[in-house]
Copies of this chain bind each other. A is one copy, B any other.
Amino acid sequence: MSAIATLTNHQVRLAKRPVGTPTRDNWSFTSEPVQEPSAGGVLVKTLALSLDPAMRGWMNDGKSYIPPVGIDEVMRAGGIGKVIASENSKFAVGDLVSATVGVQEYMLIAEDQIKRNGMFKIDPRLGTPNQWLNVLGMPGMTGYFGLLDIGLPKPGETVVVSGAAGAVGQTVGQLAKIKGCRVVGIAGGRAKCDWVVNELGFDACVDYKAGNVKAGLKEHCPKGVDVYFDNVGGDILDDVMTRLARGARIIICGAISQYNNTTPVQGPKNYLSLLVNRARMEGMVVFDYADRFPVAVAEMAGYLKDGRMKSKEDVVRGLETFPEALIKLFTGENFGKLVLQVADA
């Protein structure tokens, strides 16, 4: 019996689809023996998982940009893992990789997934594994391509980002500062607002839990909002739309305020501001930019190195805490990129 055959893989599976906010009974906890990789494949041990708002969408049935997670399937999740067995010449035991490992301790990755660029080696010199889930990972890539390719910010313009202390928000705001923009965040609570201003260098931050977002935007965006990077939707999107500058660009990245709705999504009731201001609202999905990730990662790693970019993670430990950890995203409890640490090495 090999060492691998003695290992047990603990897993979190989708037991039933949620109505509203997911609860513990949406999940089942299973375990099964770990298997050796087949020809061309690798076996990865999960170190850390990325917890993302998009996961809520994957739990719903119905057409979206990727298929839903099936009932009784292991929950989909991106993460960082370590190769512990390899039948593929491109990956060696000990390599750190980024892959869709799922909410489980071990993931067998078959050759065809590797061929479809379903995993790639991460370079620990560019950032820590947690940074590879944050500014060097999907949130960072989302912020990078959403802001730069869709938002098209020009130096001196005003960029507003909601979920400012979240994974995508922190990237967007810092990158917009690097590109010469005035940056105003929107976040929940004094601590987050202080952090994005004092630590990340945003010009201002509006605390949506403290009161009037419109008034805060009026104060801090005297020339209007040229670029709005929207992670939240709902009332905040409505409020920002009252302050658009002529020719504004809104990037629709997500709508975390709406993901647990049991009623229809709240559409942006001020959308006619697009007409008055000749403005644009455009959606983006980060996977579309995969062939440009290496260039973006190199740029972002440079900013990390020279100190212009900071990366904050909120680390929760233990696979079994997944159900509760996920909910932190929707209550706004997480502070920085939410990471589930599954194993230390």
Contact = CB atoms under 8 A, between A and B. Distances in A.
A274 B283 contact: yes
Contact of A275 (B254, B269, B273): B254
B264 A275 contact: no
A221 B267 CA distance: 24
Interface string A53-73: 000000000011100000000
A281 interface: yes
A107 to B, nearest CB: 27
A253 B274 CA distance: 9
A272 B280 contact: no
A264 B255 CA distance: 21
A271 B267 CA distance: 6
B282 A280 contact: yes
B283 A277 contact: yes
B279 A274 contact: no
Given A281-B281, A282-B281, A269 B276 contact: no
Which applies to chain A's interface (DSSP): helix, strand, loop or mixed?
Answer: loop
A271 B283 CA distance: 9
B288 A283 contact: no
Contact of A279 (B266, B276, B282): B282
Contact of A266 (B252, B267, B282, B288): B267
Given A266-B267, A267-B267, A280-B280, A258 B272 contact: yes
B276 A64 contact: yes
Interface of A: 63-65, 233, 238, 252-255, 258, 264-285, 288
Contacts of A64: 276
A217 to B, nearest CB: 15
A258 B338 CA distance: 41
Contact of A272 (B270, B279, B283): B283
A1 B233 CA distance: 66
A271 to B, nearest CB: 5
A265 B272 contact: yes
A225 B278 CA distance: 22
A283 B274 CA distance: 5
B266 A268 contact: no
A234 B170 CA distance: 35
